[in-house]
Each structure stands twice: as structure tokens, then as C-alpha cells.
Structure 1
Amino acid sequence: MQRGLVHAMAWTLATGAAVTLSWWGVHTVMSGTAYDRPLAVPLTTLPLSSSTRNPQSPSPEASPSASPSPQAAASTPASGPPPSAGAPSSSARPSPKASARAGQVKAYPVSGGRVVFDLGASSAELVSATPAAGWRMQVWKQDYWIRVTFTRDGSEVSVFCTWHDHPPVVETVDP
């Protein structure tokens, strides 16, 4: 009986050590990849422009059936185009980190996908990078530059953002 307990205890300790080591290894590898936590971007109250909106259609504000009450309209999330650079709405409170940066969020669509950067005065952050259907994506981040590359069937499209000793500059290479 005592021998069985010793074997069970040894197995439990070995299994716990293996799980801990595996978790630590995966965590270490994944912490430096492009799978960082998403950055919350303050929304503007009214979109400035939209490529999906039909200018001939009536606006939701003009339609009496669009919002039954002002309170209900305020509680529903805004749908539509992604936020553009502008002042945040009065209800959005940016985080201290976001307000200290006071950047401008800009999207860069290319044939391989879409890249969105938060461009500050002396640095930049990648907000999101979304590959188009059938494309693969890789992201490289360093202290003074970010590169996002989309690849498919030997084709390569890159978006570079650099800011060493100058404000952030975005360049696209889309042959």
C-alpha cells in the first residue's frame, strides 16, 4: 500500500512539473508574437466618411423607425465603418496610456489585407493587421519599426512603419 502511494506521489509531481514547464515554454514563445492584447480605440460620435454607405439612402437619424427612443439609441453599440482619427466621444474615456500617446489611428489597405497603426508624435503601435482571404500574414516589431507582410502564391505585400529620430512614416510595397 505504501509503495503504491509513493508511486502515485511521484507520478503526480512529475506530471505537475511537466505541465508547468510546458506552460512556461509556450507562454515565453507566445509573449513576443503578434498575438498581443488588442488595443481599445475610442470611437467618434459620427463617422467622417464611409466607402460602404450609400449617399442616396436616408440617414438613420432621419428615419423614425431607426431609433425608437434616444435612450435606446444611446445604449446600442454603433455599427458601421471603423473609427477614423478624430476626437473621442464624450462617453469614451481613453486609458492613461492612450491619452499620453495622443496618436492618430490610420488604416492602410493593400491587396493582401489591411493594417491599422496608432501613429503618435514620436512612436507608433500596431492596432490590427487583417489578411485578405487566401493571404498569410507575418508581423515583425522592433524598437523603431514595425513590418507587416502578407504573402500568397509567391506574392508579397509589405507595410512598413518607421520612427527613428523622426515622426512615424508608413510605406507600402504593393507590386
Structure 2
Amino acid sequence: MLRGLVHVLAWALATSAAVTLSWWGVHTVMAGTAYDPPRALPITAGGATAKGTGAPLTSSTERPEASASPRDTPAPSPKPTPPKPAATRPGPSLTATAPSPSAPSSSRVKSYDTAGGRAVFDLGQTSAALVSATPGAGWSMQVFKTETWIRVEFSSGADRVSVFCTWHDGPPRVEIVNY
């Protein structure tokens, strides 16, 4: 009886150690990847405002108009969604978007809609960070990161759409490639 109890205790300790070691290894590898929870902007009861300034947040696709007070700012008009590209493409096509050199702040959040989904980046003056990436219906997604670029790849069957954000030789810039 005592011998069986010792075996069960040894098995329980070995299993606990193995599970703990496995969890720690996976947690260490996955830290800092796209699987981290996305950062969200705070929303207040009176509308979204920049933290500590009282100024309203603006859409990532529109520039705010200069006004005397935040109440004078007109509501942004809804933008039509861009047309989806055809499912068959003869070859890769390239769309490039460079950040504005006259950006007043040190970073800005910008969204890029593609046929495969949406990628949102926080573009600083010398680097960038992925805020979120959401695949469209029927599409899957993979994220690749290094110290000087981020690639978000959306795929569905033979179709591929990659959103590249690079900053290795200057300010961050985003390119969208359809395969």
C-alpha cells in the first residue's frame, strides 16, 4: 500500500514539473508576439479624447481641422469602403503608402484595409508597432516581426495579401502586396 502511494506521489510530482516547465517555455516564446492582447484606446462618456489633453481623437484616415475649441470640430463623414480586388490576379501588385513628413506627434495609429483583412500599426518617427490584425471572413493570418520590419500576411486558398511595415532605412512606411 505504501509503495503504491509513493509511486502515485512520484508520478504527480513529475507530471506537475513537466506541465510547469512546458507552460513556462511556451509563455517565454510567445511573449511579445501577435498573440498578446491588443492595446485599446480609452473611450469616455462624452466621446473619445486624447489622454490628458481633452482634445478629441481623430480618425486614422483623416486630419483634424484647426478650430478654436473641440466643440467646433465637425463630425467626420463616413468614408466609402474601397472596392475589393478581383480574386484572380495575373501577378503581384504593389501599393505603397509613406507616412506624412509633417506629422505633428511622435506616433500615430493608422489602419490599412485589404482584401484579406485589416492591419493597424502605431507609426512612430523611427519605429512602428502592430496594434492589431484582423483577417476577413474566410481568410487566415500570420504575423512576422523583426527589429526593423513587421509583416502581416492574410491568406485564403491560393490568394495572399501581405502588409509590410518597414523602418530600417528611415521613417516607417507601409506597403501592401497582393499575390
Q: 2:136 aligns with which of 109, 132, 137?
A: 132
Structure 1 residue 127: Cα displacement? 0.6
Alignment-derived partner of residue 25 in structure 2: 25
Q: Partner amino acid for 1:143?
A: E
Measure the CA separation in 2 of the matches of 1:112 and 1:34.
17
Greater helix content: 1
- Tell me the TM-score normalized by structure 2: 0.63
Within 5 Å, which residues of 2 pair with 1:141-152?
141-152=145-156
- Secondary structure of the residue aligned to 1:147 is strand
- Using the aligned pairs only, state the percent identity: 64
- Secondary structure of the residue aligned to 1:36 is coil
- Count of residue correspondences: 127
Alignment-derived partner of residue 115 in structure 2: 111
Unaligned stretches of 5+ in structure 1? 53-100
Alignment-derived partner of residue 40 in structure 1: 40
Alignment-derived partner of residue 4 in structure 1: 4
Structure number with higher relative contact order (C-alpha < 8 Å, ≥ 6 residues apart): 2
Structure 1 residue 9: Cα displacement? 2.0
- Tell me the TM-score normalized by structure 1: 0.64
Structure 1 residue 28: Cα displacement? 3.2
Within 5 Å, which residues of 2 pair with 1:38-117?
38-41=38-41, 43-44=48-49, 45=56, 48-51=76-79, 102-117=106-121
Measure the CA separation in 1 of the matches of 2:164 and 2:153.
9
Deviation track 1:113-159 (CA, whole Å, cap 9, x = no partner) reads 11111000110000111111001111111101001111112011111
Q: Partner amino acid for 2:137?
A: A
